[in-house]
Amino acid sequence: MKLTIGCTTRPFQDLSFTEACQRIAAAGYTDVAVFRGIAPESSREDVLAMRRIAADAGLAPSMLLARAPLDLGPEPALTAYKKLIDHAVALGADWLLDLGTGQEVFRNRYVSLMRQAAPYAQQAGIRISVKPHGGITRTSDDLITLYEAVGHPAFGICYDPGNIIYYTQGAEQPEDHIARVAPLVTTGIVKDCIVRAGTPDVMITPGEGWVNFHAVLSALIEAGFDGPLYLETVGGETIDEIDRNVQGTWLYLAEILARLPEQGG
């Protein structure tokens, strides 16, 4: 099974965007998810500059991290989010990766914002994908509930198995619930997690923790998933270790996908 395998800028967050893109491309990835450097107040010129940097490295900047500024109030939050959608277009992205909200008190405000932002995103050719990040998106059931509440085709789920373990402290295992959420998943994050003495840790390399990536990817593909995957975290203290783990994860994913049949195969 062939899927787009991208990498976020997070493994190289201490480096310049230029160097991060160069290292991601050198590791074999085709796409980059931009996790820093673009905010609602960013200028179009700055966004276009980042697009050129990615292109110069041979990468498609296909995803942009978004945070809904719910504390600003409904109208300012919508204005800011629309600016992020506009930036995603200028960047050449297809996806906004949203983090939901960690505050239950903002649930209704978040749903309202997404209901208004999703049509604007769809018109711009951008799709919003929300991932588990605690709060109102802690569990698979939370993600399904939120998806149904927003109820728009431009709004889907980004499945992050490492975060499912992290935010439930191992109480939910991805392979136990993936079949139910898989039909709603439009993008995926590649992240592992392990829980030691009650403390979850995602700063490890995929394949070294509790996530069964073969089971997760198999269930996604069985449900018709054909969206991109993005590596978010690896282990490693030095840049050489991080480089090896980022490249090794590309090989690890490629090997798993090569063993999986095409949808309906």
The predicted pLDDT at position 265 comes to 45
Residues 143-184 have pLDDT tens digits of 999 999 999 999 999 999 999 999 999 999 999 999 999 999
Domain ranges of the chain: 5-258
The predicted pLDDT at position 77 comes to 97
Backbone phi, then psi, for 156, in 5-degree steps?
-135, -165
193, 166 in Cβ contact below 8 A?
A: yes
When the pLDDT of each residue in the chain is averaged and rounded to a whole number, the result is 97
**Alpha-carbon gap, residue 189 to 173, rounded angstroms:** 15
What pTM did the predictor assign? 0.97
31, 4 in Cβ contact below 8 A?
A: yes
263 Cβ contact partners less than 8 Å away, ≥ 6 residues apart: 1, 221, 222, 224, 226
User: Which H or E run includes 156?
Assistant: strand 155-159
pLDDT over threshold 60, residue 79: yes
By three-state DSSP, how is residue 182 classified?
helix
Angle at 77 between CA 99 and CA 135, to 5 degrees: 30
R_g over Cα of the chain: 17
Per cent of the chain over pLDDT 90 is 97
The predicted pLDDT at position 138 comes to 98
Nearest C-alpha neighbor of 147 from the set 179, 85, 216, 100 = 100
The predicted pLDDT at position 97 comes to 98
The predicted pLDDT at position 261 comes to 85
By three-state DSSP, how is residue 44 classified?
helix
Residues 92-149 have pLDDT tens digits of 999 999 999 999 999 999 999 999 999 999 999 999 999 999 999 999 999 999 999 9
- Mean pLDDT, rounded, for 72-76: 94
Structure tokens at 99: 């983090």
**Alpha-carbon gap, residue 247 to 28, rounded angstroms:** 7
Per cent of the chain over pLDDT 70 is 98
Give the fold, CATH level 3, of 5-258: TIM Barrel (3.20.20)
- Mean pLDDT, rounded, for 250-263: 91
**Alpha-carbon gap, residue 29 to 127, rounded angstroms:** 21
pLDDT over threshold 50, residue 264: no
User: What is the number of other CB atoms lying within 10 angstroms of the CB of residue 166?
Assistant: 23
41 Cβ contact partners less than 8 Å away, ≥ 6 residues apart: 83
**Alpha-carbon gap, residue 31 to 55, rounded angstroms:** 10
pLDDT over threshold 70, residue 34: yes
Residue written as tokens 């690896």? 234
- Mean pLDDT, rounded, for 207-211: 98
